[in-house]
Amino acid sequence: MKKERQQPCVHTDKQARHIETSSDDTMFMEEAIRLSAENIDLGGGPFGAVIVRNGQIIAGGTNRVVPNNDPTAHAEIMAIREACNKLKTFRLDECTIYTSCEPCPMCLSAIYWAGIKRICYGNTKDDAKSIDFDDSYIYDQIQLPNNKRDIKSQNIMRNEALKAFQKWSIKEDKTPY
């Protein structure tokens, strides 16, 4: 049987149109995958990511949750931090992220916050689930109303909390983001 081609870069929804990969995409994804495999020998999880701008790798990241005792140290987050640090910006508008696995909800959110325009991923979230990295659980939780989620959340002291928002809204020299 013919070996399946590399996964095309697609958006996560099922209706997404098929987007062909370029040879650059293949090269950058190979690097993300290389980082993911190498990271296992360095004490991290099997995840790697690179951020690319204008055909150049700006930053790379790997999963360092266990060695750093940091539950947020996912490959994509590490790569975003390094890219922003290098470029001295909190926006990565011109960038593509290549990640060895479909981003979890935290990383997907960080990608949106960073303004990254395109995501290419290798393994799917179901592939991750099959080796006990169950991101799909969080995707499922997000879709539930607050009161149906496993983590209970309560709205308390709203009026007191609003004071900081009011202070922010009248601040004149702020940097909007």
Identify whether the C-beta of residue 135 lies closer than 8 Å to the C-beta of residue 156: no
Cβ-contact 128, 134 below 8 angstroms: yes
Smallest gap from residue 77 Cβ to Zn ion (A): 6
Closer Cβ to Zn ion, 64 or 74, answer by number? 74
Q: Tell me the DSSP string of 122-155.
A: EE-HHHHHHTT--HHHHHHHHTS-GGGSSS----
**CB closer to Zn ion, 104 vs 114:** 104
Sheet holding 95-101, edge to edge: 56-62, 48-53, 95-101, 118-123
Task: Give the nearest distance from C-beta 47 to Zn ion in angstroms.
Answer: 8
Residue 150 buriedness (CB in 10 A; 0-12 / 13-18 / 19+):
exposed
Residue with Cβ nearer Zn ion (9 or 49): 49
Nearer to Zn ion, 28 or 61 (CB): 61
Give the binding site for Zn ion (CB under 5 A): 74, 104, 106-107
- Find the shortest distance in angstroms from Cβ 62 to Zn ion: 12
Question: CA–CA separation, 14 vs 41, rounded Å?
Answer: 35
Q: Which residues are catalytic?
A: 76
